[in-house]
């Protein structure tokens, strides 16, 4: 742009903004249904769906209601869902061993979904926080910190069980060092060579996750603790690039930045540096604050679309968002 010679009045940039048709034709970034993934919460021992108060329009689903929900999403053209379990409290323990039960609630739900809707891509997290009674993503050592290498042993088994249940995309969200390599090696050895890995590579220790903790009912276990020793410091971007590089080298097929809107600089840097499929997660707090402002008429409903488009403009290839179903109805 340094030698750019365009000048007014020969150049009038308002000419190409003069009507919607021309604005649409020259749009540099576009949002389509193919860009959207819907997160879904499923709760064990639930007879029907129940609303999540902190996430307007989002529900915890039962085994029955989740099938109806996915059918509606498919009819809208959404091609992928991310499934998050809420398991019975009496199945949680110090090590989260219910995660490696091949017949646990999540694995059974995945089998049902894939049987009824084989063309729907199912994404499932690899992490222990839904299964531990302390709310951390791994096994704690005697100092109360997460033991990286002991946790890897369980995550490896959890990923394999998810693949065996029919999960299309394994998504390690735990932020343990080395987990992508361990999981990729196991999937290769057990003949799940086509099972993809979506790495939560740049997952920040953010304060935007509050409504998610409400949704999975983990807040009462986790309290005011932090995940600062394994999730990334919010001040850092170089560190994010190192995390992404490691995950790619260990076998990740897709990388992710989470949260999304406060980290658009990270999204841009990751995409430009690695030119890999790059997803973002518009997390619960981002969605909730926009919804709250819309409900109070402080902002118009169009801000949700605008926020998603900003992710595409920054370089994201796909977006996990609680607004996927809502946005898909208007695309």
Closest CA to 61 of 72, 70, 48: 48
75, two tokens: 């009819």
Determine contact, residues 292/210, Cβ cutoff 8 Å.
no
Query: Whole-angstrom Cα distance, residue 317 to residue 39?
Result: 17
Closest CA to 139 of 101, 106, 99: 99
Which residues lie below 8 Å from residue 258, measured CB to CB, with a gap of 6+? 173, 200, 202, 203, 204, 206, 280, 281, 283
Pick the catalytic residue from 161, 203, 271, 312: 203
Query: Whole-angstrom Cα distance, residue 203 to residue 244?
Result: 10
Question: For residue 308, how many C-alpha atoms fall within 13 Å in the half-sphere facing its CB?
Answer: 25
Collapsed DSSP state (helix, strand, coil) of residue 41? strand
Residue 67: how many other CB atoms lie within 10 Å: 16
Q: Is 7 a catalytic residue?
A: no
**CA end-to-end span of the chain, whole Å?**
34
Q: Is 258 a catalytic residue?
A: yes
Collapsed DSSP state (helix, strand, coil) of residue 39? strand
Outline where DSSP puts E strands in 169-223.
169-172, 196-203
Pick the catalytic residue from 258, 271, 291, 325: 258
Helices (H), 82-192: 105-116, 148-165, 179-189
| Bridging pattern class, strands 59-61 and 121-126 | unpaired
Closest CA to 184 of 229, 246, 239, 130: 246
Which residues face 42 on adjacent strands? 61, 85
Active site residues: 203, 258
């Amino acid at each position: 742009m340094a030698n750019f010679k365009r000048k007014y009045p020969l150049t009038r940039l308002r000419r190409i903004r003069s009507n919607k048709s021309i604005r649409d034709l020259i749009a540099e970034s576009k949002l389509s249904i193919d860009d959207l993934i819907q997160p879904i919460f499923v709760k064990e021992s639930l007879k029907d769906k129940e609303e999540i108060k902190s996430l307007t329009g989002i529900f915890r689903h039962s085994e029955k209601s989740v099938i109806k929900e996915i059918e509606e999403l498919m009819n809208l053209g959404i091609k992928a869902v991310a499934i998050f379990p809420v398991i019975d409290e009496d199945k949680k323990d110090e090590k989260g061993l219910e995660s490696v039960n091949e017949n646990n609630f999540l694995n059974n739900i995945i089998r049902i979904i894939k049987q009824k809707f084989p063309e729907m891509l199912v994404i499932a997290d690899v992490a222990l926080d839904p299964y531990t009674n302390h709310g951390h993503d791994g096994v704690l050592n005697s100092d109360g910190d997460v033991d990286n290498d002991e946790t890897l042993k369980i995550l490896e088994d959890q990923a394999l069980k998810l693949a065996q249940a029919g999960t299309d995309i394994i998504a390690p969200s735990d932020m343990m060092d080395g987990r992508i390599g361990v999981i990729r090696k196991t999937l290769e050895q057990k003949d799940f060579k086509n099972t993809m890995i979506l790495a939560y590579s740049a997952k920040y220790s953010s304060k935007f996750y509050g409504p998610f903790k409400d949704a999975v009912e983990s807040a009462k276990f986790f309290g005011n603790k932090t995940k600062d020793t394994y999730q990334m410091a919010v001040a850092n971007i170089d560190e994010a690039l190192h995390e992404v590089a490691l995950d790619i080298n260990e076998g990740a097929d897709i990388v992710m930045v989470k949260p999304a809107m406060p980290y658009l600089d990270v999204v841009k840097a990751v995409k430009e540096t690695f030119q890999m499929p790059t997803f973002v997660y518009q997390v619960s707090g981002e969605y909730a604050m926009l919804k709250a402002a819309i409900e109070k008429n402080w902002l118009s409903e169009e801000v949700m679309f605008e926020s998603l488009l900003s992710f595409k403009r920054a370089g994201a290839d796909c977006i996990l968002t609680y607004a996927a179903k809502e946005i898909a109805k208007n695309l």
